[in-house]
Amino acid sequence: IVSEATQATAKTGALGFAPTDVVDKATAGQIQINGEVIDIKEGQTFEDVYANIRDYCEMMNVDVVPVNAAGVECELAAATNLSFTSVIYGASQKLNITTDNANLAQKLGINGVQTTEGTDAKVTLDTTSGFKYGNSIYQWRTDGSVGPRRIPHVI
């Protein structure tokens, strides 16, 4: 194994709410995560907002958890950020998080979101030692949504 596959990750900037804070008219809006729209309505608590985000993300094979300043999962009340991680590994995994409301973006730390795309695993098999079909190195790459692909490299 040359390198293992990785998951896509995203960590928001600093959160600007307490779980019991209520969404006001100026903060209501929409969040888009990988193209899926989540409506955030006036009167919801931010605990409800987090629950909606978590539920939508679960349907998209994305885990989202509140984390503290050290990046350790914690209760929402102690969280400084939200951490998003794709369930599936590989280069096809990306996280795109946006909102249509600057106030909502500030409360959820979306303006400061840092994302890392997933990567494919890379495996190299040296067929010159112990294999009888020529002098080639084969590399398999998988990205979680596509099966193995063989890329021959002749020596």
DSSP class of 10: E
Instruction: Tell the residue number behind the tokens 């998988």, with chain if given.
Output: 142
Q: What is the pLDDT of residue 139?
A: 47
For the stretch 84-141, pLDDT in tens is 999 999 999 999 999 999 999 999 999 878 888 998 888 776 666 655 555 554 444 4
Contacts of 84 (CB under 8 A, 6+ apart): 8, 9, 10, 11, 33, 57, 62, 63, 64, 95, 97
Mean pLDDT over each residue of the chain, to the nearest integer: 85
The number of CA neighbours under 13 Å toward the Cβ of 93 is 28
Which sign does the torsion angle of CA 84, 33, 25, 112 carry? positive
